[in-house]
Amino acid sequence: MDYILNIENLSKKYEGFTLQEVNFAIPKGVIMGLVGENGAGKTTIIKLILNLIKKDAGKIQVFGLDYLQEELEIKERIGVVLDESGFYGDLRGKDIDLIMSNIYKNWSHSDFSYFMEKFELPFNKPIKDLSKGMKIKLSIAIAMSHKPDLLILDEPTSGLDPIVRNEILDIFLEFIQDEEKSILFSTHITSDLDKIADYITFVHRGKIVFSKDREELLDNYGVVKCRQEDLVKLDKEIVVGSQQNRYSHEVLIKDKQLAQVKYKDMIIDPVNIEEIMLFYIRGGIR
């Protein structure tokens, strides 16, 4: 399998937080959702990939190239959306078009104009006067306008209304249609990932809990609702965590097929990505 991004044993230590031996890989032609609670390490991973901060250990390859030795070539082929655009507030869309055309070899004036029009962004309004949602749309327009092969997105749909979010998700799906490009999509809006993600990488307290095919994940995981006396009967090897409510226990399991065979009398409900995350975070990890 061809990987567009490959991370091995990536580590970074701060006072009070450590990113520990992160491993995951993104094949060509897919969207990978990067999820986890605030402070879990998602933005640290992205900044390490972009060489905005220095790693302590590990290996990062993008397009099969070392991210340090071939940094300029790699960044020419990456589109990035971060929390802040990084542009001076008095700049306008027309200024950005000129600036970026002198930075990226493949910058497309026509693509930039297309996205500016599609997102209903003004060419002559200073960035400082744009709303948060408009600034995010501007960042996406910039990221998409130099014909990148990889998009790295940190909360790209935060602050957008549902209609615009859906339009942007459709654009992301179109982006990967040739099966040569990929997206790393960090977000807390897991419903967006339910719509478009092929893979999910879940980081919790600086560690990768899993990096799996989304369909496989949803097929294998489920929630058993049971009484206290039934809880002890469940195979500990397949139990991820449990939560107690007023009348019963809810137990997240990671082998739904095995549970359906062993516990025929128990009801196993399907789960979504957000529910899986919450069980790992609140229900304990086994």
The answer to whether residue 257 scores a pLDDT higher than 90 is: no
Contact 13, 165 (CB under 8 A): no
Q: For residues 246 and 57, which has the higher predicted lDDT (pLDDT)?
A: 57
Section 66-74 average pLDDT:
94
Q: For residues 229 and 32, which has the higher predicted lDDT (pLDDT)?
A: 32
Confidence of residue 262 (pLDDT cuts 50, 70, 90): confident
Please state the domain extents for the chain.
3-213, 221-282
Contact 246, 202 (CB under 8 A): no
The answer to whether residue 82 scores a pLDDT higher than 50 is: yes
Instruction: Quick: pLDDT tens for 144-172.
Output: 999 999 999 998 888 788 888 898 999 99
Query: Which pLDDT score, from 0 to 100, does residue 283 have?
Result: 59
Confidence of residue 132 (pLDDT cuts 50, 70, 90): confident
Section 10-23 average pLDDT:
95
The sheet with strand 239-244 has its strands ordered as 239-244, 249-253, 222-226, 268-269
Quick one: what percent of the chain has pLDDT higher than 90? 66
Section 33-59 average pLDDT:
95
Instruction: Quick: pLDDT tens for 178-203.
Output: 999 999 999 988 999 999 999 999 99
Closest CA to 26 of 149, 163, 205, 174: 149
Query: Which pLDDT score, from 0 to 100, does residue 163 have?
Result: 87
User: What pTM was computed for the model?
Assistant: 0.91
**What's the Cα-to-Cα distance from 279 to each of 194, 200, 207, 273, rounded to whole Å?**
17, 16, 16, 10
Confidence of residue 282 (pLDDT cuts 50, 70, 90): confident
Tokens coding 209: 């809990």
Whole-number average pLDDT of the chain: 91
CATH topology of domain 3-213: Rossmann fold (3.40.50)
Please state, in angstroms and rounded to a whole number, the distance separating the CA atoms of residues 152 and 143.
9
Closest CA to 218 of 247, 248, 252, 245: 252
Query: Which pLDDT score, from 0 to 100, does residue 189 have?
Result: 86
Query: Which pLDDT score, from 0 to 100, does residue 284 have?
Result: 53
Query: Which pLDDT score, from 0 to 100, does residue 55 have?
Result: 96
The answer to whether residue 286 scores a pLDDT higher than 50 is: no
Among 6-15, 242-251, 267-276, name the one with the lowest average pLDDT: 242-251
Query: Which pLDDT score, from 0 to 100, does residue 169 have?
Result: 94
Q: Is 79 helix (H, G, I), strand (E, B) or coil?
A: strand
The most confident of the ranges 20-29, 83-92, 156-165 is: 20-29
Confidence of residue 70 (pLDDT cuts 50, 70, 90): very high
Q: Is 268 helix (H, G, I), strand (E, B) or coil?
A: strand
Please state, in angstroms and rounded to a whole number, the distance separating the CA atoms of residues 21 and 50.
17
